[in-house]
Chains A and B, each alone.
Chain A
Amino acid sequence: MSLRERLARHWFAPARLRDLAYLRIALVLVLLAGSMWPGKLDQQLARARLPAEWFVPLPALKLLMVPFGWGARPGALLITVMWIVCGVAGLFALVGARTRWSLALFAYANTFLVAHLLSYGTLQHPQAPATILLWMLLLAPCGAELSVDAMRARVSETRRSERFVPRDTMAVSADARWPMRLAQWLLVIVYLSAGVSKLVVGKGAWLNGYTMEYYLLVDGIGHQLPASLALAHVRWLGIASAAVTLAFELTFVVGVLRPRTFPVYAAVGTAIHTGIYLLLRAPFFQFVAMYTAWAAPLRDARQHPAPGDAGRVWTLVYDGFCPLCMRTMAQLDELDGSRTLRYVDLERDTARARELIPGASMEDLRAQMTLVPPSGAPLRGFFALRELTRRLPVLWPLVPAMFAPGAARVGTRVYAWVAKRRARTLCEGGRCAVHGGVERAAASSAS
């Protein structure tokens, strides 16, 4: 294979759109948290109040300030507006609602805020590579999965075709690979720059233990961190952590060239950055968020059984003549990243439904959806829904509410109320289903 072909494969081989969506979510989440963290707006406004002699605008800020005047200094009002835009657009970008527009607005507002904070003489590193990547995501289909946009498209397709068709494979795209590769190589260069700087500037003395002690003392005193001050004088710890850090930074490229090794790098990198935050208060979580660009090797490392493995598949039996039920199935199918759910249409695959839930009448089955585990008793209605919030990671935020005391009582009533009032009319091949069964469309319209 020629070099050109290898490069093309490296950068443009089809990749899962879902993996790209993970990158979008991780980046937006960590940058949004960085800008919205309590006290951040106060910090922005305090900087804006400083006399002009402190203000040294970065070219990036000047560029973003073009609509308000070249070289102008942002005032409190503009900063507050940007902060609000950043928060709102960030939330939209996070959930993938109008993804491209919300991501563009978020990228602008967030970069503006970060550039303003850094326009007072001192640069900080954590946001830089994530900011570059955020702008590049605008050119990639990062909202095609795990997004409100994708779910709306899916639901609308289900409504149009009046039938829910589960996906049997993960969507892939040749446009999904390059943003992840860009994230990977950006991190490689960044870590290499950090590692080589330590070798060139600090030389071998960087590993002497006293260097780490010095930085622990500086930040321990500056941020009043007792743990940093206590650990500062444990010299062997300083030597060991310096050696691990240097080895990690200099060899990080192996994680790209040999993706199977990446889980180790991810674990070490997360530990290093968490340690740096706890002991030096330097928040490099943006780098950790960029590790989602290695979603494929990280997924492989979890060693899940293959999709479709009978031992892990749960089956949902739903009313195939109920538009609301089909929309719900389409939404669940979108959210089920690990393909752990299978779907049985009660009306079109009755035999299979009866086999899964023996003894239940059709009326019972129509009344509530049923979740059939690989082994054990089927769960009905609210309890099926509740179990789904536990099984689908995207729904985990709902788990506390679903399992709260009294939730079962309220939940079953709400479920029954909705189920009773849902529409159950669907036409297919000249026949329309109504509440009690199936009737001729012609007969129905004549009456």
Chain B
Amino acid sequence: MTLPRAVVAALCAIILGAQVRASLPISRVTYGWYWPFLSYPMYAIAHHRGDSLVARELRATTCGSPATTTILGADALGPPPAELDALLREIARNPGAPAPALTAKATRAIDAQFPGRFCEASVWARTLFVADPLSHRLRAPMQRVAAWTIAGVARP
């Protein structure tokens, strides 16, 4: 099949034009509506000496005795790592009393992957600082910043 040259030229112009359009305006956010036409601000945000980064984990404790605690990463739980981390960040924002809507969302995700297995969940975190000596900070223990029970959360 040979397409007329004008058709090919128009197609190429549309595709390249759409790609340029998707790249603008330059921003730190990736616009996804027109995927696979995307902007590419990957790793574009600059960081400085002393900036902190928080590593977070979701842990779940099994029901029954003896109870065991498991780290539930994004692979096990299903959502993209950035989405899970954003949820954990929001839950950890109010350590004493995490927002019920957020913990319920995490609970429903746990329940969807491991129905009835876990009775308690918690968010753990540790903070690292850019330019800190590697060995000291990386061995700092995780600290529990939020916890809640799992049973009885209704599906939306």
**Chain A contacts to B: CB under 8 angstroms:** 8, 11-12, 39, 43, 46-47, 49-54, 58-60, 100, 111, 115, 118, 120-123, 125, 127-129, 131-132, 136, 139, 141, 175, 178, 181-182, 185-186, 189-194, 196-198, 200-203, 205-206, 208, 210-211, 213-215, 217-218, 221-222, 229-230, 232-233, 235, 282
Q: Give which listed residue, A58, A182, A202, A208, contacts B35 with CB less than 8 A.
A: A58
The reply to whether B105 and A197 form a contact with Cβ atoms under 8 Å apart is: no
On whether the beta carbons of B16 and A221 are closer than 8 Å, the reply is no
Chain B, residues 39-81, CB within 8 Å of chain A (1/0): the string is 1111111111101010100000000000000000001111111
Chain B nearest Cβ from A136, distance in angstroms: 7
CB distance from A180 to the nearest CB of B (A): 11
Q: Is B99 close to A, CB under 8 A?
A: no
The interface centre, meaning the residue of A49, A214, A232, A235 with most chain B CB atoms within 10 A of its CB, is A214
The reply to whether A197 and B80 form a contact with Cβ atoms under 8 Å apart is: no
Inter-chain CA distance A123–B113, complex, in Å, is 22
Q: What is the distance, in angstroms, from B104's C-beta to the closest C-beta of chain A?
A: 10
B128 CB–A CB distance under 8 Å: yes
Chain B 1-30 near chain A by CB (<8 Å), digits 1 or 0: 111010011011001100110010011101
Residue contact A185 to B16, C-beta cutoff 8 Å: yes
Across the interface, A201 reaches (CB within 8 A) one of B44, B78, B138, namely: B44
Decide: B46 and A205 in contact? CB cutoff 8 A.
yes
Does the CB pair A194–B40 fall under 8 Å?
Answer: yes
Contact B55 A175 (CB under 8 A): no
B36/A129 in contact, CB under 8 A: yes
What's the nearest-Cβ distance from chain B to residue A41, in Å? 13
State whether B113 touches A46 (Cβ < 8 A). Answer: yes
Determine if B81 and A229 form an interchain contact, defined as CB atoms under 8 angstroms apart: no
B53/A46 in contact, CB under 8 A: no
Instruction: Give A330 to B113 CA distance when docked, in angstroms.
Output: 55
Residue in A51, A196, A214 whose CB lies within 8 Å of B51:
A214
Q: A210-B47, A210-B49 are in contact. Are A125 and B113 (CB under 8 A)?
A: no
Apart from A8-B5, A54-B79, A203-B46, what are 18 other A-B pairs with CB-CB below 8 Å? A46-B75, A46-B76, A50-B109, A121-B80, A123-B38, A125-B38, A127-B36, A136-B15, A139-B11, A189-B19, A194-B42, A197-B26, A197-B40, A198-B44, A213-B47, A214-B130, A217-B130, A233-B131
Known: A58-B35, A205-B48, A210-B47. A51 touches B156 (CB 8 A): yes
Q: Please indicate which of the listed interface residues A120, A122, A203, A235 has the most CB atoms of chain B within 10 Å of its own CB.
A: A122
A50 to nearest B CB, angstroms? 5
Contact with A along B101-113 (1 / 0, CB 8 A): 0000100110011
Question: A128 — nearest CB in chain B belongs to which residue?
Answer: B36
Cβ-neighbour of A123 out of B26, B32, B77, B130 (below 8 A): B32
Residues of A within 8 Å of B8, CB to CB, are 11-12, 139, 175, 178
Which chain B residues lie closer than 8 Å to A193 at the CB level?
Answer: 23, 26, 39-41
Q: How far is the CA of A8 from the CA of B113 in the complex (A)?
A: 55
Query: Are B40 and A211 in contact, with the CB atoms below 8 A?
Result: no
Given that A51-B109, A139-B1, A203-B46 are contacting pairs, would A230 and B134 also be in contact in the complex, using a CB cutoff of 8 Å?
yes
Nearest A residue to B76 via CB reads A46
Contact A229 B44 (CB under 8 A): no
Closest chain B residue, CB of each to CB of A47: B78
Closest to A185 in B: B16
Q: Do A115 and B53 touch across chains, with their CB atoms under 8 A apart? A: no
Tell me the bound Cα distance from A58 to B5 in angstroms: 32
- A sample of 8 cross-chain residue pairs with beta-carbon separation below 8 angstroms, ordered by A number, consists of A46-B76, A54-B109, A120-B78, A132-B15, A185-B16, A193-B26, A197-B26, A221-B128
B36 and A47 form a contact (CB under 8 A)? no
Per the bound structure, the CA–CA distance linking A173 and B3 in Å amounts to: 12
The smallest C-beta distance from B78 to any residue of chain A, in angstroms, reads 4
B5 partner residues in chain A, CB cutoff 8 A: 8, 12
Do B78 and A46 touch across chains, with their CB atoms under 8 A apart?
Answer: yes
Interface centre among B11, B55, B78, B112 (most CB of A within 10 A): B78
Q: Which residues of A contact B19 (CB under 8 A)?
A: 129, 132, 186, 189-190
